[in-house]
Chain A
C-alpha cells in the first residue's frame, strides 16, 4: 500500500477512535443546534417574516430556513474544536510525532483535516436526522447532494481551525480566539437571517455578511439540501479553503516557526 494511503487510513482511524471515546462531545455538538432549532427558532418564527427566496419555492417556516445554517454551525464548532485539540496535541507533544514523520507535512496535516471533517459530517447527518423527525424535511435527493457541499464547507472551516492552531501558541489564549472567530462568523452570516433582511437594517452589515466565507458555506449547503447547485457559493468556499489551508501550511512550516521563536 502506498505510504500516503497508509498514513491517511491511520490518521482517519485515530480520529474515529477519538470520536468514539468522546461521546459527550458528540452529544454536546448535537444538543447545540437542536436548542437553536427547537427553542430559538420557535421564538423567532413569529418575529421574522420570510419571503420566497431561492432555493425555496414556497413560503417556509423559520425552522426550515435555519437548518442549513445550523449544519454550518456544527461544522464551525467542530472546526474550532479540532483546532483546539491540535493546539493541545502540540502542547502535550503528540503533534511532534506527526511533524517528524518522513511523509510530507502538508499531506499529514491534510489527512488530519479530512479526518476532522469526516467526523463533523457524521454529526451534521445525525442533526439532520433529528430535524427530519422533528418535521423539517428536505427532498430525499437533497440529503445526498448535501454531502459534497458539507465536505467542502467542513474542509474550509477545518482549514480555518488549522490556521488558527498554527498561530495560537497556548491553550489559554485559545478560548478568546474562538470567541472572536465563532461568534462574528456565525452571526454575521446568512445562517440565522437572509442577507436581504440584514440589508434592510444596515448596508454595511450586509456587505460584511456577504464577504464572510461562512455565509457562502451556509448557502452552498442550503442549495445542495434542495438539490440545487450554487456555483458562486462553491467558488467562494473553495477559494477560502485554499487561502486558509495555504496560510495554515505556511504557519506549520519550520522555517516560519523558527523565525517566530527568534522574533
Chain B
C-alpha cells in the first residue's frame, strides 16, 4: 500500500473542511480526487504534506506514519502545489538544484537525478532558461519534474493544470498518467472531469465528505453529468 488515509477530519473554526475521510491508494495507481471548489481538496493536500495537522485520523505514506515519522514520510512524497512555487528569476536547473538540496541531494548525484527528471518531462532542452521565460505549460512541467527529482513513491498534484489551455492540460494529464504507469503512485486533485480517464480510480469529494470511491467509469460514460448531478456544481 502506498498512501493510506484513515478517518481524517479537519475544521476551520465552525466550518468542517474534511469529515471522517478515509481511502487507500495502491502502489502505481493513478487516483483522481475530483471535487468542486471548496470541497476540501486543498485542505486534504495541506494535511498530506504536513503543512497542517489533522484534528483526528491517521495518514500513512509509503508505510510511514506521517505523525510519528514525518521526515521519512515526507522524503517519499513529491508535491506539485496549486500555486506555482518556482523562483522565476532562476533558471530551470537552478530551481531544480535548490529543491534537490532541500532534500539533501548535491553534486553529481543531484545532477544525474535532475537530468533524469527533466528528461522524463521532456524539459532537458530548457534547463538553462529562466523560469520567467517559460510558458504556463512548461512551468508546470518543470514543477512536476522537480517533484520527481528525489524519486518519490507518491506524487501529489493539487489542481496542477489550473490556468492552462485545454491542449496543455491534456498533455500534462497524459504525462502524469504515464508516470503512474511507470510505477509512481499519483493523487491528482481536479475539478475538471475531462482530466479523469475512464479506467482511473476516482474519489469524488464534496462538502468535506467522500461521495464516491471506485473506478471513474462506475459513474457511467458521461462523468461530467454524473459529477454535476451529484455535487450540484457548475464546471
Contact = CB atoms under 8 A, between A and B. Distances in A.
Nearest to A3: B104
B52 interface: yes
Most chain A C-beta atoms within 10 Å of own C-beta, residue among B10, B75, B97, B102:
B102
Interface stretch (A9-17, A113-121, A128-136, A165-173): A9-17
Contacts of B53: 254-255, 257-258
Interface string B45-77: 000011111110000000000000001101101
A220 B90 CA distance: 38
B52 A258 contact: yes
A97 interface: yes
B81 interface: yes
Contacts of B103: 3, 101-103
A234 B13 CA distance: 43
Contacts of B81: 93, 96
Given A6-B104, A10-B97, A102 B72 contact: yes
Interface residues of B, number: 37
Contact of B52 (A103, A104, A261): A261
Interface string A1-28: 1111011011101100110010000000
Nearest to B12: A261
Contacts, number: 96
B71 A98 contact: no
B13 A262 contact: yes
Nearest to A13: B98
A1 to B, nearest CB: 5
B101 A257 contact: no
Contact of A7 (B12, B90, B101): B101
Interface string A170-214: 000000000000000000000000000000000000000000000
Contacts of B107: 1
A100 B50 contact: yes
Most chain B C-beta atoms within 10 Å of own C-beta, residue among A92, A96, A99, A263:
A96
Contacts of A258: 10, 52-55
A263 B13 contact: yes
B77 A100 contact: yes
B87 interface: yes
Contacts of A85: none
B11 interface: yes
B78 to A, nearest CB: 10
A262 B71 CA distance: 25
A206 B214 CA distance: 70
Contacts of B85: 92-94, 96-97
B71 A104 contact: yes
Interface string A231-263: 000000000000000000000001101100111
Given A6-B105, A100-B50, 6 more contacts: A3-B104, A6-B106, A10-B102, A14-B87, A258-B54, A263-B13
Closest 6 CB pairs of A and B: A3-B104, A10-B101, A93-B83, A102-B75, A101-B102, A6-B106
8 contacts: A6-B104, A14-B90, A21-B89, A93-B82, A96-B51, A102-B75, A103-B104, A257-B53
Interface of B: 10-13, 49-55, 71-72, 74-75, 77, 79, 81-87, 89-90, 94, 97-99, 101-107
